[in-house]
Structure 1
Amino acid sequence: MKKISKILIAAVLGFTLTLAGAISVSATDLEGLTPGFWKNHTEAWADTGFSPTDQIGSIFNVPDEYNLDDFTLLEALSFGGGKGEIGAAKILLRASVAAILNAGDPDIKYYYLLSSIYSNTNAELNSHNRADMLWLAGVWDSYNNFGLH
């Protein structure tokens, strides 16, 4: 079982967890907003340290053959996916952009630190493994759907 899967199980059961790359919070205190929220509320980006016009390639290490570096973070929030590695990369980037916005906002109690989101997303993008990219996108999506308390 992958480490993040154990985190999800613990979160469902209500444990408090502290792992490398994560903050220490009770599962009931976790917060996160969806890609749709961030796409439709660009004014909420003000305290995140990111801009809707930042390019994906300035944030993530995307393989050149995916041709996704020049899209903006705002555009990434509208990525739909598709077949193959590039489709999976788009799905992962949509979830990852929401994750960095959640982690970058000082008022949101997001579970992961920016450094962990960067390193995990970059590793999966560069794995060229569709299943692993989709798996990590699912992890980020689960945390991006906690809402605010």
Structure 2
Amino acid sequence: MRMMLLVAALAVGLVGGAAPASATRIGNEGCTPGYWKQAQHFDSWEEYSPSTTLASVFTLPAYFASSEYGDDTFLEALNYGGGSGLTSKARQLLRAAVAAFLNAASEDVGYPYRRFSDPGNMLASVNSALASQNQTTITNLKDDLDAKNNLGCPLD
């Protein structure tokens, strides 16, 4: 009987260990968009690639998806600049959000937020802010993510 329990426990452990990679560290570290967009740091990207499209991760509202930016990649988003107006504010949020997602996906960065669950649930927060079409809401989340992305990068 003990042997059967041991075999069952090992089987559960092996099946459980087959889950997709997901960073589990929570801390006070974060790398900036400027870090992530450099070609020499692409080997630090986990679970995403520079060619990952924004639309494959985020729910882009019509005002953004129908713009010239609708098919942009993570790398293109990391290069977004500033500006005023709703689309510019959305670009600024997505720049910070992409860096935040790369930070949270990395096993080597102790980022304070998670992508799909608490604390932070960044996907829900980013999608909600973009859907609000409220520039203040979008800017406030961008500022928060930007502050977290500037906590200090442990990667070289």
Alignment match, 1:144 = 149
Asked if structure 2 preserves the Cα contact closer than 8 Å seen for 1:76 and 1:94, the reply is yes
Q: For structure 1, which runs of at least 5 residues remain unmatched after alignment? A: 1-22
Q: 1:24 to 1:77 in 2, by over 3 A?
A: closer
Identity across matched positions, percent: 39
Q: Which runs of 4+ in 1 moved over 6 A?
A: none
**C-alpha displacement of 1:81:** 2.9
CA shift in 2, pair 1:24/1:44, >3 Å = closer
2:139 partner amino acid: L
Following the alignment from structure 2 to structure 1, what is the Cα–Cα distance between the partners of residues 108 and 25?
15
1:44 aligned residue: 44
Q: Choose 1 or 2 for highest CA Rg.
A: 2
Q: Distance in 2 between matches of 1:24 and 1:104?
A: 10
CA distance in 2, matches of 1:87, 1:121: 15
2:59, 2:127 within 8 Å by CA — same for their partners in 1? yes
Instruction: Say whether the 8 Å CA contact 2:53–2:74 is kept in structure 1.
Output: yes
Is 2:85 aligned against 1:84?
yes
Aligned residue for 1:16?
none
TM value normalised by structure 1: 0.77
**Is the CA contact 1:58–1:69 (under 8 Å) kept in the aligned structure 2?**
no
Superposed CA deviations along residues 34-91 of structure 1, whole A, max 9, x for unmatched, are 000000122211xx20010011000111112212330000000011132211010000
Counterpart position of 1:105: 106
How much does 1:147 deviate?
Answer: 1.2
Match of 1:35 among 33, 36, 39: 33
What are structure 2's unaligned runs of at least 5 residues? 1-23
Q: How does 1:1-149 map to 2 (within 5 A)?
A: 29-40=27-38, 41-45=41-45, 48-66=46-64, 67=67, 68-115=69-116, 116-148=121-153
Question: Is the 8 Å Cα contact of residues 129 and 138 (structure 2) preserved in structure 1?
Answer: yes
Letter aligned with residue 48 of structure 2: F
- What's the offset of the Cα at 1:24? 8.4
C-alpha distance in 1 between matches for 2:72 and 2:150: 24
Kindly tell me the number of residue pairs found equivalent between the two proteins: 122
Residues 80 and 95 of structure 2 are in contact (CA less than 8 Å); yes or no, is this contact kept in structure 1? yes
- Cα distance between partner residues in 2 of 1:44 and 1:88: 27
Q: What CA RMSD, in Å, does the superposition of the two structures yield over aligned residues?
A: 1.5
Write the distance in 2 (CA, Å) between the matches of 1:69 and 1:117: 20
The normalised TM-score by structure 2 is 0.74
Following the alignment from structure 1 to structure 2, what is the Cα–Cα distance between the partners of residues 78 and 107? 23
Which amino acid in structure 2 is aligned with residue 44 of structure 1? S
3-state SS of the aligned residue for 2:80?
Answer: coil
